[in-house]
Amino acid sequence: MKSLFDETCIGTIHLRNRLIRSATWEAMADESGRLTPRLIEVYRELADGGVGLIITSATTITSDATRVPGMLSIPDDTFVPVYNELVQTVHDAGAPIVMQLVFPGRNGAFWTPSDPSREDIHSIVKGFGEAAVRAQRAGFDGVEIHAAHGYFLSQFLNDKRNTRTDEYGGTVENRVRFLLEIACEIRARTGANYPLLVKINCSDFEEEDGVWDACQLACRQLAEDGISAIEVSGGISQMPFPPHGMPYEESVFRDYAAEISRITGVPAILVGLNRTPSVLTGLLNTAGIGYFSLSRPFLRQPDLAGYWRNNPDRPAECLSCDACRKQPDGNVCPFRE
């Protein structure tokens, strides 16, 4: 029987358990998107707490990319040394770390698929590749492409939101093209053995959005191209979470993640209200889902992995109340003891 505390590998990344800290906006970077000592301490605490893998908060790839306050960035080589300090801190505490890469838009605007020209798209693809190389040079164990939650890249998968009439819109094959080109660019620049993950929406949960079809096609192609793992999420930031009509109170995207695992053979990471070890263990042994990522529970309990090892019958203490996002000094849980 498989356990949440099996030692496994995602590509060349060795994990001490199957629990992953999913990308979480901390709102603690400085105005230029650089790491701060406080933010490094957040990651050190997570690593000390026993998590199997840390995925950083979304990190913008270019200097003109739109950012929200406190958001990380890696736009040029001057950012590499301090990220190397972060990586060393996390590694010294026994955890691997992956950088999540994102492009929300440019010059303060949050883009939709209709905004970029073909030349813009080609430039963004190149930007992802260059940022991945910087992350690799900084020592990160891999990178993750953020194509979820209704942000810019995610919208290309949505048949209603992607209104382009060129090779990046229309058919499902066209709607996945941008994501596949980014993955190909990163692979070409970092090498075939450097772990590459993707976070992708199974659905935006809008009527006839076409995202599930695009998700399946993209994941099949990414698997053929050697993707290391697929983190399956869903919904968009402007809507309630979990999406209305979900059949489960916990681990809400489980059926989608199980299907992605089945059709690709690639390790599937399930995110979305993972709260109870017994539920996760059951999915691990029956649904083909290999890993479970969590966000808000790690804000309340950075040592959640160690806690669950010693208390396998206890759910996470997180109330999913979102009070963490309303604090004046960063994305922190006000109920931490």
What are the extents of the domains in the chain? 8-326
Pairing of strands 53-55, 105-106: unpaired
In the annotation, is 151 catalytic? yes
Residues 145/198, Cβ–Cβ less than 8 Å:
yes
Question: What is this structure's pTM?
Answer: 0.97
pLDDT in tens, the chain (337 residues): 999 999 999 999 999 999 999 999 999 999 999 999 999 999 999 999 999 999 999 999 999 999 999 999 999 999 999 999 999 999 999 999 999 999 999 999 999 999 999 999 999 999 999 999 999 999 999 999 999 999 999 999 999 999 999 999 999 999 999 999 999 999 999 999 999 999 999 999 999 999 999 999 999 999 999 999 999 999 998 777 888 878 899 999 999 999 999 999 999 999 999 999 999 999 999 999 999 999 999 999 999 999 999 999 999 999 989 899 889 889 999 999 7
Cβ(7)–Cβ(53) below 8 Å? no
8-326: CATH superfamily: Aldolase class I (3.20.20.70)
Per the residue annotation, which of 43, 151, 194, 307 is the catalytic one?
151
Residue 93 CB partners (closer than 8 Å, separation 6+):
44, 47, 48
Q: Give me the phi and psi of 230, to 5 degrees please.
A: -125, 120
Longest CA span, the chain:
55
